[in-house]
Chain A
Amino acid sequence: MRFAPTEDEVMVEDTLDRLLTEMIDAAPRRDGEPPAPEPGALRARLGQLGLWGGWLPECAGGGGGGARMLLILARGLGRRPVGSGYLGACVLPGALLARAAAGQGAGRAPAADLCARIAAGEATAAAAIFEPRRRWAPDPILVARPDGDGVILTGEKVHVAEPSGAEAFLVSAAEAGGASVFLVPADAPGLTVRTYPAFDGAEMARLSFDAVRLPAAAARLHGPGEGAGAIEEALRIARFAMAAETLGACEAALAQTIDYQRERKQFGRPLASFQALQFRAADLHSEIELLRSVVLGAAETLAGPPTAHARADIAAAAAMAAETGDLVAREAIHLHGAIGMTRELGVGRHLMRINALTRWLGDADHLRETFLRIEEEEAAA
Chain B
Amino acid sequence: MSTNEEHFHWPPSDPKVVKEELISSTKRGGGFIKKSIWVLSLLSILGIVGLLGKLFLESNDQTQWGYIAAILAFILSTASGAPMVAVAPLIAKANWARPISRIAHIIGVVGIVNIIIMIPLLWVLPPLVVEGARRRSIWFEAPNYSPHFWDTLSLIMLAIVGVALLYSSALPDFATIRDNSSGTKKRIAGFLARGFVGSTVQWSTLRMRIGMMSTFYFFTLIFVHTLISIDLSLSMVPGWRDAIYPMAHAMGGIQGGIASVIIVAWIVRKYFGYENYITINQFWALGRLMFAASLMWIYFFYSAFIVFWYGRSMSDTAWLDLLIRGPMMYVFILGMLFSFIFPWWWLIWNKVRNSVNGPFYGAILAILGVFFERVRLYVPAWSVDPSLIHDKWLKVIPKTLFPDIWDILVLVGAVSSVFLIVMIVSRIVPFIGVWEIQQFNLLAKPVKYIKAHGVRVAKPD
- A, B assembled together: no
